[in-house]
């Protein structure tokens, strides 16, 4: 048991108290925000913005530059998603729907271009020297595509979050952000529940598919 605690707490020995508190706050806001997302509630975005802004700072301190990029993008896409979810077109708000072929193409382009961007930045910073950096390119691409799909209320965004969360759980423990690793375990559970809830909504509202 002590070895587990040592593994979890050792990376925080050199961290300041304020950074630990900030990480916990970011985790709480992030988890609560995604819970609201599962319920298709607009609060997912303001809560998410608070979380991602804090994570930009935390990841920069830990020199996790790929994660800095992710969270800057999350912040910007949260603003965009907040805007799109509030829009009324033809008398109706944005509704949950499935991906079209056009959406799939855009998601693939976002994934590939994002992965290449992360590789370029890591190489420029001479930080592309750990196996976690390679995994970062995949998770960042998945998260970028998922965030765009989420802003457009596409059911499949939950599938990408599920994959990204599964990869991120061990990844963040290795990176030394234990609280964030726990966050991704919770987010994985919520993402599975979210996929079930949104799919049920589509099945009950076939005209919105």
Give pLDDT tens digits for 59-94: 888 777 767 877 898 899 999 999 999 988 777 889
Q: Picking from 22-26, 127-131, 189-193, 200-204, which range would have the lowest pLDDT averaged per residue?
A: 127-131
Q: CB-based contacts of 137: which residues, under 8 Å, 6+ apart?
A: 66, 115, 118, 119, 122
> pLDDT class for 37, splitting at 50, 70, 90?
very high
């Amino acid at each position: 048991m002590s070895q587990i605690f040592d593994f979890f707490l050792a990376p925080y020995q050199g961290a300041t108290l304020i950074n630990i508190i900030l990480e916990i706050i970011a985790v709480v806001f992030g988890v609560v925000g995604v819970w609201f997302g599962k319920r298709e509630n607009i609060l997912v975005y303001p809560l998410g913005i608070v979380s991602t802004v804090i994570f930009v700072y935390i990841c920069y301190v830990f020199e996790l530059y790929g994660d800095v990029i992710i969270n800057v993008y999350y912040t910007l896409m949260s603003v965009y998603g907040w805007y799109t979810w509030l829009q009324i077109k033809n008398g109706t708000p944005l509704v949950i729907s499935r991906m079209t072929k056009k959406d799939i193409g855009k998601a693939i382009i976002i994934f590939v271009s994002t992965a290449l961007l992360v590789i370029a930045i890591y190489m420029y910073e001479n930080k592309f020297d750990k196996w976690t950096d390679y995994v970062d390119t995949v998770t960042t691409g998945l998260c970028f595509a998922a965030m765009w799909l989420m802003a457009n209320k596409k059911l499949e965004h939950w599938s990408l979050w599920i994959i990204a969360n599964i990869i991120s759980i061990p990844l963040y423990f290795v990176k030394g952000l234990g609280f964030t690793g726990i966050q991704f375990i919770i987010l994985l559970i919520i993402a599975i529940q979210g996929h079930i809830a949104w799919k049920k909504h589509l099945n009950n509202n076939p005209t919105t598919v």
